[in-house]
A and B are shown apart, each in its own frame.
Chain A
Amino acid sequence: MVQVGVANLRKELEQLFPGKWLSPGESVRALKTGLSFLDVLSPALVRRHLTEWFGSSSSGKTSVLRTLCSRWCASGLNIVYIDTFDRLLASDWCDVGNKNEGRFWVLRGGVTILEREAGLDYTKNALWACEQLIRSQAFDVVILDLAERGVITSSVHARLKRSLERSNTSLIVLRDDDSLSSDSEMGKFSSPVSSAAGRVDFGFVEPVRIEYGVDGPISITPTIRSTIARAILRAGMGVSGGGKSLEVSVSPYVSNRLFTHPPVPDRRTSKKR
């Protein structure tokens, strides 16, 4: 009798506050990010589920993800990033997992320019590797960067989902879609992954932070806005809800790249200066 009452109360609360109800065990499965705008209401990233990180090709999603990777590695989690198109620069990621903590590995596509021009289907290898990485149960987070070709077929998605259910891994799919990245369209759910457990949209917005040097601006960083589609988060956990979303702006701290050697001398002649 008491159990029925609790179940009814839970349903009622879920209808009143869609997305705010956590079922037992979900809080354990959730990966805390350490960023309050992602953790404030509900876990944005859950183990054994697929989360889609969505935004234009220049929207700040990878910068946010890098911070999360750094924090996760510091807490001992193992992360692998599948860089399908070999776009990452090693110097940007050197501070992630560099100490004696969780490992951070990158799986590179290794596609040559000739193969790229020949239209080789190199996402096939990335998807295969993603499934292998999940099935190995050696990584807590697998990041799959599909860039503009972020289409996962239903059969591949089913395989990934099955692998995720048997593992303890959280899968993040990064996808660039410039056509849906305008302000009015942010937050709308048009996932290429049919049943993603969650989705976080990103985009650059005003204000733009400018750091000035001696001669003028030396650094330009727009604000990153993220929108968490929480209703979809809930849908992945078997609970349907509305489309209420959360928007938080973050201004990243910007600092010049520092090296241990003195700055590179300006070799221009005095006349050209």
Chain B
Amino acid sequence: MTFTEARAVCSQLIWRAYDDKLYKSAQKKLAGELIALSPRIGCAEPGIFFLDAQGLDHLGGEGKLCRDLLKLASRNGFVDGRVGIAGCAFTARIASSSLKKRWTIVPAGQDCDFMAPLPISLLPLSPESLANLEALGIKTIAQMLALPKVSYEGRFSSDVISAYELAGASDPFSPSLPFVEKSFDVFFDIGSALDSLKETLFILKSMLDKLSAELLKEGLSADELTLRFYNDNDLFDERAIKLLRPSVNSRFLLDVVRLSLESKPLKREFTAIRLIVSRFSREAFEQIHTKLGSSRNNEKEVNDNSVLLLMQRLSSRLGETALVRPLASDGHLIENSGFWQPVLSRSLPSEFLPVDSAYVDKCLGTPGKDNLMPGLVLKRHVPAMPVFVSSVKGDSDSSLSASHSVPTAVTYKGQWYQISRVTMPERISGLWWEVPVRKSYYVALLDKLSRRKPSRSTPDKKSDLPAFMTVLLVFDHQEQSWYVEGVFD
């Protein structure tokens, strides 16, 4: 059922995108509650928990544990919970998937008997492996276990071998004691309203110093900072500051926070700040080169560090896509024959087509010692500048923007200029499946010396254009209009 169909059935339906963070948060919260029933707990994908059910005989046994678990889940809003108890985690998981009973207890030592009649589709197998096994007549777990393990080894992929282990009730996974989650956050209630950047940074410096000391004590480095600004308990600004490389240097962290505040200033005054190290990692120690004669390497290393700091500054203020490098693409449209690839990202645009650079180099050849690279550099007008053109000499008012013919004069920056030379059009079309493009590209040389006389309505003012000017003149067949897309410089 599509969303539109569902909406037709239920008009109050609300669309919400899948939020992994939200699910993980709910799972973590419920796991925290489940610790009250069993000290050992483990989590799988969202909604699946593993608890240690051993040693509960004197506390009511496994039946009571199942009831308590369902009660606790219901209290937290999960009313359709299922419980399975078995000797290994995988069997317990299969047991909990029963739709008929709220809980299923597999007697001790009978895991294989419980699993035997079940189909092999319950095992974690790839579709190809499942199809192969079924083609061989192996449809139940009992049939699978009837053959020794060596029969599968070498004939099937690793997923079949691991599924065989699980089918034999030997799952290595077991719930463990929960670890104490570390959190690094500092809250500072100022007591009065503040909006000055200098004073804000002063407060943040002390907060960062405290956090850095705590991180250092634990041997950790910050990967991401989250900054929250409150105005009388009203959270009005929250920003996550991602670091390009983990750092525990409070001075550097303050610099990054300052850049963030400068590029995106606060909209109102605040009364409290919360600074959280939202992501952190183990501090990395790098051995400095001690070998003699490695000055070049050290220089490169220093250079890399300075580039890293620089990129952090630039990305904080100008965005992660500001610093780019050119990337050639084998497209015939001007826009698609090259892309700007962000330096901080290795992902390629979907329209990217690799270029056979050896072939292009062979065709273009190497320019001579004093020759420039082939072609002139185009500097685009963004957006393209609409212009009027004339195709008949001596008639400046006859604009032929509606019809497409070779132009002889053009208005550029408000004045008529004669086109002394123009190339044959390069006609390019494409993208009919998205936004159709049909354009004719001309390279035109504008000549100021043979400039046309201005009309009576426009005063004769000094031209600001140079003697020669080369422009990219484009006729858009879709819009039936002329544009100057850029100048060659």
Contacts and interface: CB of A to CB of B under 8 A. Distances in A.
Interface string B445-489: 100000000000000000011111111000000000000001111
B18 to A, nearest CB: 30
Interface string B359-377: 1100111011111111111
Contacts of B467: 181-183, 203-205
A151 interface: no
Contact of B310 (A97, A132, A267): A132
A77 B372 CA distance: 19
A261 B367 CA distance: 23
Interface stretch (B37-45, B179-187, B325-333): B325-333
B466 A91 contact: no
B429 to A, nearest CB: 6
B328 A91 contact: yes
Given A57-B489, A58-B468, A63 B373 contact: yes
Interface stretch (A3-11, A16-24, A105-113, A190-198): A105-113
B489 A86 contact: no
Interface string A121-158: 00001001100110011100000000000000000000
B376 A104 contact: no
Interface in B328-373: 328-330, 332, 334, 337-340, 343, 355-357, 359-360, 363-365, 367-373
B76 interface: no
26 contacts: A58-B489, A63-B376, A66-B373, A67-B367, A67-B373, A87-B379, A89-B380, A93-B326, A93-B338, A96-B326, A105-B325, A106-B324, A106-B340, A107-B323, A129-B314, A179-B464, A204-B466, A216-B423, A250-B372, A255-B375, A259-B337, A259-B360, A260-B330, A260-B356, A260-B360, A261-B332
A65 B377 CA distance: 10
A1 interface: no
The 7 A-B residue pairs with the shortest CB-CB distance, nearest first, are A91-B338, A90-B338, A94-B328, A56-B466, A204-B468, A252-B372, A91-B337
A103 interface: yes
A255 B364 contact: yes
A125 B421 contact: no
Nearest to A90: B338
Interface in B422-440: 422-424, 427-430
A259 B465 contact: no
Interface residues on A, range: 35 or more
Most A CB contacts (10 A, CB to CB) among B321, B368, B488 go to: B488
Contacts of A56: 465-466, 469
B230 to A, nearest CB: 29
Interface residues of B, number: 75
A87 B486 contact: yes
Given A90-B340, A204-B466, A204-B470, A253 B322 contact: no
A59 B377 CA distance: 10
A57 B467 CA distance: 11
A224 B469 CA distance: 11
B466 A252 contact: no
A253 B368 contact: yes
B369 A34 contact: yes
A105 B327 CA distance: 11
B466 A87 contact: no
B321 A110 contact: yes
Given A254-B375, A259-B360, 5 more contacts: A55-B489, A93-B377, A95-B373, A218-B424, A253-B374
A219 interface: yes
Contacts of B323: 105-108
A12 interface: no
A258 interface: yes
Interface stretch (B28-36, B147-155, B159-167, B301-309): B301-309
A204 B428 contact: no
Contacts of A62: 377, 379, 489
B357 A60 contact: no
Given A58-B471, A183-B467, A252-B374, A92 B325 contact: no
A152 B428 CA distance: 41
A264 B367 contact: no
